[in-house]
A = this chain, B = another copy of it.
Amino acid sequence: METKNAAVTRKKERRSELYRKLGPLIALIVLMLIVTVLNVNFIRPANLLNLLRQVSVNALIAFGMTFVIITGGIDLSVGSTLALSSALTAGIIAIGVPPVLAIVSGLLIGAFLGMINGLLITKGNVAPFIGTLATMTIYRGLTLVYTEGNPITGFGGGFAFQFFGRGYLFGIPFPVIITTAAFIILFVILHKMTFGRKTFAIGGNEQAAYIAGIKSDRVKTMVYAISGMMSALAGLILTSRLNSAQPTAGTAYELDAIAAVVIGGTSLAGGKGRIVGTLIGALIIGTLNNGLNLLGVSSFYQQVVRGVVIIIAVLLDRKK
């Protein structure tokens, strides 16, 4: 009896688990179908590639955010980190550093800015919401100070840097390739490596994880560094695409990234989540933006629709 019961529970659990995993995916497919029916242009390969390229910036930021949220934290500074690291990278290229080196420096700058968040939160014991709220303001301020409020343009960077955001490889936009690579690497780290396990454990019960010998301060600091680095990567793509580092770039991007993560089924309470879900979440948001534009919905109504879709997606996920 007990075992029969257990088997039933097990089966049910698996099924609900499956729903939970498939929920966002089904939502995405339905959304894509609707848009296609309303405007067949949507499904054309050119538009889909365009869509993917548009999604890449938010997706990259949201990947990093997934780690942060799984630890039970939040990173509001991603947009400002994006802007500051982009501006500094543009500055670095402008003084003649080879573009590949500059890109690497840009990523390291992002990781460093993220690390500051991590240290504030772990060593300073500041709540993630308020700590990254503060650095969001600070990094934005520093960006404006550094750029004097002007976009940095004409900094050069040659083919390599231009290719970064604007290139194509086998007909696929390079940012899409970067995003795919980042996804695979982060997927492996989160779901196949001990670092990911530790990330989940901290979000599940930090005290228990700490006592089990997990260096939670170090893991958290690294997680914020990952988030910073992903923001920087997104920033570099944007900078390359726009051929310009904008001081106001990334404003309010944290909201889209958080929405992607949550729509993807990661819990804001920490301890639970999947990076595949985040990818799907980012695609849902991207499809929505792209689709609503294609359908000629006014940008005012777009906001309403976007909010409603976020709620529906989250409610669907609740219902399993």
Chain A positions within 8 Å of B, measured between CB atoms, are 74, 120, 124-127, 129-131, 133-138, 140-142, 144-145, 148-149, 255, 258-259, 262, 267-269, 298-308, 310-311, 314-315, 318
A285 to chain B, nearest CB (A): 11
In the complex, A192 Cα to B144 Cα: how many Å?
A: 46
A62 to chain B, nearest CB (A): 14
**A-B contacts, 8 listed (Cβ < 8 Å):** A124-B315, A124-B318, A129-B258, A130-B258, A134-B314, A137-B310, A138-B308, A141-B306
B-chain residues with CB within 8 Å of residue A267 when the two chains form the complex = 127
Question: Of the candidates B138, B306, B314, which one forms a contact with A126 in the assembled complex, judged by CB atoms under 8 Å apart?
Answer: B314
A24 to chain B, nearest CB (A): 14
B-chain residues with CB within 8 Å of residue A131 when the two chains form the complex = 311, 314
Pairwise interchain contact A307-B145, C-beta atoms closer than 8 A:
no
A307 to chain B, nearest CB (A): 3
A248 to chain B, nearest CB (A): 12
In the complex, A302 Cα to B148 Cα: how many Å?
A: 13
Pairwise interchain contact A149-B304, C-beta atoms closer than 8 A:
no
Q: Who on chain B is nearest to A269 by CB?
A: B127
B-chain residues with CB within 8 Å of residue A136 when the two chains form the complex = 307
